[in-house]
Amino acid sequence: MTSQKEQAPTIAVVGATGRQGGATAQALIEAGAAVRAVVRDTSSPAARQPGEQGIQLAEADLNHAETLAKAFQGADAVFAMTMLSGPNGTDGEVEQGKAIGDAASTVGVNRILYSSVGGAERHTGIPHFESKRRVEEYLAGLGLPVTFMHPVFFMENLNRSRPPPTTGNSCSACRCPPEYRCR
């Protein structure tokens, strides 16, 4: 009697050339999953590294669900995050989150793993928290199993936005506009 080897799940990772998506793709590879990096341009220098690691590349535009559906086809799950840094800000982030959900639903992905933000459920009024909340609500309404991850803050963000301290004493503050009340 022969045993059939179980096939590793295929996880489509949106943003696999970025910090969070790249770290996720790497951890999944190390755990034995098959990873499909969903990138804007498969010929870009940023996409070369995942390709060299044996990660399958799929090209998609987060603003177009049909390209995402093609990239998600055959995947068991989708890991995704959205960012407000595009030209349409938080509204664009919500639209991209909806496109990700619609594409996953269209092709029958078994699970969406969405990296949101800690406190998204609190209705804080902070724009980038509210956009994540709106994406979460939309994804939850699709009828697919969804896992929400709620990181609070990535310390790497401090390195990118501020010069390193010149003394042993330093303090960092993250400010919100005065009209937003943090709770």
Express each pLDDT in 99-110 by its tens digit: 999 999 999 999
DSSP 60-122: --TT-HHHHHHHHTT-SEEEEE--TTSTTHHHHHHHHHHHHHHHHHHHT-SEEEEE--TTGGG
The b/e string for 34-55 (b: 16+ C-beta within 10 A; e otherwise) is bbbbbbeebeeeebeebeeeeb
CA distances from 67 to 34, 63, 120, 131, 142 (A): 20, 9, 28, 22, 19
- Stretch among 123-127, 156-160, 175-179 having the lowest mean pLDDT: 156-160
Q: Is residue 14 part of a domain?
A: yes
- Tell me which residue of 75, 70, 62 sits closest to 33, measured CA to CA: 75
Q: Is residue 16 part of a domain?
A: yes
Q: Compute the distance between CA of residue 38 and CA of residue 47 in angstroms, rounded to an integer.
A: 9
Structural domain of residue 61, as residue ranges? 10-161
Residues near 51 by beta carbon (within 8 Å), at least 6 away in sequence: 37, 42, 57
Q: What is the DSSP letter of 10?
A: E
Higher per-residue pLDDT: 116 or 151:
116
Q: What is the mean pLDDT of the chain?
A: 85
- Stretch among 1-10, 75-84, 94-103 having the lowest mean pLDDT: 1-10
Q: Is residue 82 part of a domain?
A: yes
- Answer for the pair 79, 100: CB distance below 8 angstroms, yes or no: no
Q: Compute the distance between CA of residue 67 and CA of residue 183 in angstroms, rounded to an integer.
A: 38
Task: Beginning with the edge strand found earlier in the chain, give each strand of the sheet holding 77-81 in spatial order.
Answer: 56-59, 34-39, 10-14, 77-81, 111-115, 146-149
Q: Is residue 84 part of a domain?
A: yes
Q: What is the mean pLDDT of residues 114-132?
A: 89
Higher per-residue pLDDT: 100 or 154:
100
Beta-bridge partners for 147: 113
Q: What is the mean pLDDT of residues 93-99?
A: 97
Q: Is residue 149 part of a domain?
A: yes
Q: Is residue 116 part of a domain?
A: yes
The pTM of the full predicted model, rounded to 2 decimals, is 0.83
Q: 158 pLDDT exceeds 60? A: no
When pLDDT is cut at 50, 70 and 90, the band that residue 1 belongs to is: very low
- Answer for the pair 84, 131: CB distance below 8 angstroms, yes or no: yes
Q: 169 pLDDT exceeds 80? A: no
User: How many structural domains does the chain have?
Assistant: 1
Q: Is residue 175 part of a domain?
A: no
Q: Is residue 167 part of a domain?
A: no
When pLDDT is cut at 50, 70 and 90, the band that residue 3 belongs to is: very low
Residue 139: give its domain's CATH number.
3.40.50.720
Q: 4 pLDDT exceeds 70? A: no
